[in-house]
Amino acid sequence: MFFKRKAILMIHGFVGGIYDFGSLHNELQLNKQFDVFTFTLPAHNQFIVNNVKHQEWLDESINQIEFLMQNGYKEIYLIGHSMGGVIAAYLASIYPQVKKLVLVAPAFRYFYFKEGKVDIKSFNETIKNIPEIFKGNNTEEVISRILKTPIPTMIEFTKLVNQCQDCVNVIECPTLTIHGTNDLIVPTEATDYVYNSIKSKTNILVNIHKLNHECFVTKKSKEVKETITTFLKQSPKNKKETIEL
């Protein structure tokens, strides 16, 4: 029956879009257990992501999950990438209807911001890493995201992270966290923070060798998608573990 199907809500990252998930949406939709939903965060359909407040991102995400509940879904799975992972964690902390949570490179730590301000030391490190960032990602896409992100919008991003920081401490649903060893955008401290903070009895951290921040559109995307699909289809393991792939 319809109401036995599970809803999957996918939340994209900062200055990104649903295209960041590559083919994951279609592949999950082929599974008869799931109905898959995506949406674009406010202002992210503009050429420049501007004139937007972080609360608008949270409010729209709440609207999306409320819509699913109003339409009869009693089990909701969340998949969040980067900033979308922060938002997904926030939703999981306040909605018991969220039964599984997937956080891919959740941006609870970010290389060149600290306490809402540009951190000069980490910013300089990021500048040094720019050749590697371009090497591991689509060059036009990297340039596009830099150009479409004014400083006030970056500050709104840091406000969102600060507001949602403590939500991880009350998450109890089964959680899968994925991080790439070549991620030069979100540091390992972010996934370590999630893994060490959540209360769930099923707490899995998967580190994928040579994976960068654009997890779903690289040569390693197959491992990412298979890891997520397996987690969503299987019964919870009720254990805390770290897996290296």
State the pLDDT confidence band at 127, using cuts at 50, 70 and 90: very low
pLDDT digit string (tens) for 28-48?
Answer: 999 888 999 999 999 998 888
Nearest Cα neighbor of 172 from 89, 57, 80 is 89
Q: Cα separation of 238 and 169, whole Å? A: 18
Helical segments of 109-181, H only: 120-136, 139-147, 151-164
Q: Cα separation of 190 and 201, whole Å? A: 20
Overall pTM > 0.85: yes
CB atoms within 10 A of CB 81: 29
- DSSP state string for 55-110: HHHHHHHHHHHHHHHHTT---EEEEEETHHHHHHHHHHHH-TTEEEEEEES--SS-
What is the DSSP code (8-state) at residue 184? Answer: S
pLDDT digit string (tens) for 61-100?
Answer: 999 999 999 999 999 999 999 999 999 999 999 999 999 9
Structure token pair of residue 110: 């970010």
pLDDT of 123 higher than 70: no
What is the DSSP code (8-state) at residue 47? Answer: S
